[in-house]
Amino acid sequence: MTERDRNKSDNGAEDAGAEAGLEALFDEARRSPPAPSRTLLARIEADARALQTPARGAVTGAGGRLRGWWRLLGGAPGIGGLATSAVLGFWIGFAPPAALDALDDSLSPLTGAAEDVNAALPEDGFGWTMAEAEG
């Protein structure tokens, strides 16, 4: 065995020893981890209680039903949209804007035609009154 081989072998053995020693320390560290104090656990549980919302199943009675309706109508965005459309509809009916008059004018041929059709209907209601008279 040359000097170089001997050194290599020594280094290998030394490294194996260091590896085994380190693994032994890791094993001991795994077996006996530092444990949290009771005070820390109590602080963590107190935080949890402070941040916890009440159980969903506990919501009953009128408040619960109201919340049910609220959710059914889409919550705040849904209720907001519903209120906006109601106010807008009421306002258009109460004081129609000028643009709506112009729209009415543009539709008047159709409206007029409908009136003409009504005027052209026979007064006897397509013979219905005649049939009654004959009867």
Partner 1 sequence: MDAMQNRTDAAQAEADADLLARYAAGDAAAARLLSARLTPRLYAHAVRVLGDTAEAEDVTQEAMLRLWRIAPDWRRGEAQVSTWAYRVVANLCTDRLRRRPATPLEAVAEPSDPAPGPEALLQAQARDAALQQALNTLPARQRQAVVLRHIDGLGNVEIAQVLQIGIEAVESLTARGKRALKAALAGRRDELGYEDD
- What residues line the site for partner 1 (CB under 8 A)? 13-22, 24-26, 28-30, 32-37, 40-41, 43-45, 47-49, 51-58
Task: Report the alpha-carbon distance of residue 131 to residue 128 in Å, rounded.
Answer: 5
CB of 2 to partner 1, least distance (A): 21
Least separation in angstroms between residue 58's CB and partner 1 is 7
59 touches 67 (CB < 8 A) = yes
Interatomic CA distance for residues 38 and 45, integer angstroms: 10
CB of 114 to partner 1, least distance (A): 58
Question: What is d(CA 24, CA 18) in angstroms, rounded to the nearest whole number?
Answer: 10
Tokens standing for residue 10: 């020594």
Q: 54 vs 122, which CB is nearer to partner 1?
A: 54
> Among residues 40 and 103, whose Cβ is nearest to partner 1?
40
Helix and strand numbers (H, E) in the chain are 7, 0
Closest CB to partner 1 among residues 41, 103: 41
